[in-house]
Every structure is written in structure tokens, then in C-alpha cells.
Amino acid sequence: MVQSGLHFSDARATGLDINSYIEKSPIATLRTDERGNVIEANEAFLQLVRHSVRVDTSVALVDLIDPEDRSRFTEALERTFRDHIVTPPMLLTLHPPGYAPVIVYTYITLMKADGDFSPVLFLHMIDQTEQKNLELRFAHSQKMQAVGQLAGGVAHDFNNLLTAMIGFCDLLLMRHPAGDPSFADIMQIKQNANRAANLVRQLLAFSRRQTLQPKNLDITDVLAELSNLIRRLIGENIQMQMIHGRDLGLVRADQGQLEQVIINLAVNARDAMKQGGTLTIRTSPVTLAAGEGVDSALIPPADDETIIPGDYVLVEVSDTGTGIPPEIIKNIFEPFFSTKEVGSGTGLGLSTCYGIIKQTGGYIYVKSTPGEGTTFYLYFKRFQVDGTAAKAQDLAEERAGGDLTGKATILLVEDETPVRIFAARALRNKGYDVLEADSGENALEVFAGYEGAIDLIISDVVMPGINGPKMLQQMEAQFADRMRGTQVVFISGYAEDAFLDTFGADRAFNFLPKPFTLKQLASKVKEVLDGSAVAGS
């Protein structure tokens, strides 16, 4: 008769008893009584609990188990011992004194010997800590991605609505200037629409899908300009110190978004120092060599975030407030996570900061001690100045404030009717001839049927049917000769990154993010037609 399973017999003797196998086993193995008191354990178990206990003394395993798991564990032990049943493996969390929690799969086995010996409980524990942490990080990453996609989609739809609202306000203001009875009402509508646009920008910043307008910035100058505003925001009971480092160099960032990051952190610091304190903003140059990272005490927004070697400008924002409890510090960069009372904040502040800095190519870290304060560390890449690009940028900005009228033929392609009506009226008011199309297919028909030269195409990116980039590709293929002198501006409620994969990052393009005002639209058109626009902006 053939026996199934592995059977130890004298014919395979090794000179070792089964206890030797258990002692050297890589799987944590221990013997307990029916109440869970450890009678003996192997070396693997001692390593699992970081040698925080001694098995030659009375050790109650239940004392090492997370309080939420204890009742489930003791019930399983009692049931196994009493009913002599096989207990399914359970996930338990151990808390070795002074060490991080350890998550283990625990198998409980009841073994009965021949004769008058009492049954014996054996426990086998397999470390699952890293596996569970990976699962949690993966789930967190999926959640952040899903929220980011949701935020980007919502922002796109809102930006179309806000473009029409702000645009028609601008058209009304042309007929109702300051002093007109309707002027104040129109300005109220426009100001509230702009507030809504700022909230949408926060959503896009979190999802890292906003359109930045980077410039070469001196951090010292930016902070100097912000200092008065920050002092008003934090109040008189909080002192502010600014300590500027030398030879910082420049960073390339969107000044408005950079200011938003600093203001958000200053407001958070103020809220953490209700009884007063000190807010310190310090700058310094930092160089990280290959293989060198930041201080291990600094906590990143994501566990897998690694800073690359290079030259950085470091901005530290420190407060002497209440600090952040260790159990929640890893959650503070999540969207809609807030420790403030209901109604006191959106929970978007730090996630917005993270999104802005990440999209700028920088890094953010935090270190906090409860009762002592919190410091945020912002790492911005030092930027090597290209004099030609800087002059071109300055020239474009200078021209944008001048005469915005012009004489050219423009094909406007926009599926959102209110946005198309506003943009067409705004451009006609500036002297341009405007052809309208409500889709990519319609634009191809209009282009084919128009006998004159079209100087500029302004096209939405995301449209039903043929989208903006594909429409442009078809035009270039069908009307190659006519398209040689035609400029293109893309407009979108999404950011540039959302369609780079379709259009191609290596191709020059002009971009105007929604929502835009009448002046911003006219300025962009003027820049592109005059040849002063910087490609890719």
C-alpha cells in the first residue's frame, strides 16, 4: 500500500531529532498552552518579535498581539483546543515592545500524542508585513490616481463653463464701464467666477494636470514680495523670520503657483500656532551627490518617492506649533484629508502643494514633533539660465500689454457653444475675421470651402469625433501648401500634458488654458501672429 504525503522514518535517519528541524526552521514556530502562553519557541520566532521577549520566562503571546486581534485569537485557540478542529490561518498584528508592528499569517495546529499525553498547540507564523505594506501602497496609489482622474475630468467641464462666464462678463464690461450702474454687479459675477477658477486650479494641481507658466525666478525676490502678505495672514501674535541663503541661483517655476505653495504652508502654520509662536522661512543651496538622499527623518508624500542627485534650492517652512501626530503624518498629502473641524477647510491645501511642486520637478518632505512644531522641506531644481529664451519670454510679456487689435483670418474650432460664441465675438471686436466650426469634421469642411488664406487656427483639444490634434494632422496632410503659413493655438480645460502623447512632445505648439479672459485670448493671438510667442507655451 502506497502512503501519501511525506513520512519521516528510521530508514532516512539523519542523527537529528524533529526538534532540531523546528529550531533551524526559517518559519517562526512556537508551542503554547490553551490560553496562549508560550512554552517554547524557535529562533525564527525570536527574530520575528525582534528578540523583545525571552521564552525562558512566562510569556503571554496575547500581550504581543494588537488589541483589536486579541479576542479573535484567544477564541480561535480555545475552539481549536476544545473541539479539536482545524482552524483556518488568520492574519494577526504583533507589536514587539519598542519596534514597528509585524503582520503575520498564523496557523494553529493541534497535535495529539499517543498515550496519556495532553494535546499540544503548535503555532506557525509567516511574516507578511512587507507584502501587506505593498498592497496598501498599491491601493493608495490606485485611490490617488482615481481621484486625480476624477479631479481632472471635473476641472475640464468646469473650465468650459467658467470660460463662458468670465468671457461674457468681459464683453458686458465693454458696454458697462466703471461708473455704470451695472458695473458693480458684473464685477461681482466675474470675481466669483475667478474664485471658482482658483478652486478648479487646486483640483488640477492635485492631479498634476494644470498648465504652468514657468519663468526663471529668484526665490529670494519671490519671498521678499510675499513677506507683507504672509505677515498679514499669520496675525500679530506670530513672529515671522526670513533667513535667506547666499548664491542660491534661479529656479524655473510658475510664480503664482509657487506663491500659492508658500501661502498654503504659512496658513497651515498659523492654524497650528493658535497661542502664538514663530514662523521661519529659510532658503539655502543644496547639492545631493549620487547615492545621497535626504535625511531619513524626512517623510515623503509617497513611500516610493526618491529624490534624484543634483543641485537644488531648499526652502524650509517651520513653525513652533502643535506638530502632527505620527499616526496621521503619512496621510496629510492626501486630497480632502484634514484635521480641521468641519467647514474650516477643503483638505486640498497640502495635496495642492504636492501637485504643484511635483509638476515643477521638485520634491516636498515633512518632519514634525508633536508639541514642538513642523517643518516642510521644498526642494527646487537649480536652473541654468538661457539668455536667449529669457529675452524672448520678456519680449512676449512686454508686447502682451500693448495694442491687441489685428487684421487676420482665424478659424475657431470649439464644440462648446457658449465658449465659441464668446471667443468669436471677442476676436471680431479686435478686428479679426473669424470662421467658426463646432467640431473637427466641420472645421475640415470650413477649411476646404474657404478660398482665402487662414492665418491662425484656434482649436479645442478634446472634442467629439475628431479631436484637435488629429484634425490638425488631417489638415496638414490634405492641405499641405495652405497650412505652411498657418499658426495654431490649442485651447483646453485640460493641461498641455493631457494631449502631448497624441500631438507629440517634439512638435512646437501654442497653448491657452481655460478659463481665459478676453484679454488673455487677444494677447495670445497677438503673440502668435506677431511671432513673439514661445513655442510650447
**DSSP strand pairing (456-460 vs 487-492):** parallel
CB 529 within 8 A of CB 406: yes
Residue range 280-309: mean pLDDT, rounded: 87
Beta pairing partners, 284:
314
Contacts of 16 (CB under 8 A, 6+ apart): none
Torsion on CA atoms 196, 201, 206, 209, rounded to nearest 10: 140
Q: Distance between CA 229 and CA 256 in Å, rounded?
A: 14
Question: pLDDT tens across 318-365, in order?
Answer: 999 999 888 888 778 776 555 554 334 444 568 778 888 887 889 999
H/E element, 90: strand 90-94
Percent of the chain with pLDDT over 90: 30
Residue 401 has pLDDT above 60, yes or no: no
DSSP string, 405-451: ----EEEEE-SSHHHHHHHHHHHHHTT-EEEEESSHHHHHHHHHH--
Contact assessment for residue 513 and residue 213, using Cβ atoms and an 8 Å cutoff: no
Provide the total of helices (H) and of strands (E) in the chain, helices listed first: 15, 18
Virtual torsion, Cα 312, 316, 317, 322, nearest 10 deg: 130
Contacts of 298 (CB under 8 A, 6+ apart): 365, 366, 367, 377
pLDDT at 1: 34
Contacts of 503 by beta carbon, 8 Å cutoff, 6+ apart: 469, 472, 490, 509
Cβ atoms of residues 196 and 211 within 8 Å: no
CA distance 99 to 79: 31
Confidence of residue 292 (pLDDT cuts 50, 70, 90): confident
Which pLDDT score, from 0 to 100, does residue 38 have?
A: 86
Question: What average pLDDT score do residues 359-373 get?
Answer: 90
Strands (E), 232-384: 238-243, 250-253, 277-288, 310-319, 363-369, 373-383
pTM: 0.51
CB 276 within 8 A of CB 238: yes
Task: Compute the average pLDDT of residues 440-460.
Answer: 93
CA distance 264 to 384: 28
Q: List the beta bridge partners of residue 121.
A: 32, 110
DSSP 245-275: PSS--EEEE-HHHHHHHHHHHHHHHHHH-TT
Place of cell 490561518: 89
**Residues 507-525, mean pLDDT to the nearest whole number:** 84
Q: Is the pLDDT of residue 5 over 50?
A: no
Q: Are 176 and 182 in contact (CB under 8 A)?
A: yes
Q: Which residues pair with 29 in a beta bridge?
A: 124
Name the β-bridge partners of 433. Answer: 409
9 or 161: which leads in pLDDT: 161
- The continuous run of DSSP H or E covering 127 comes out as strand 120-127
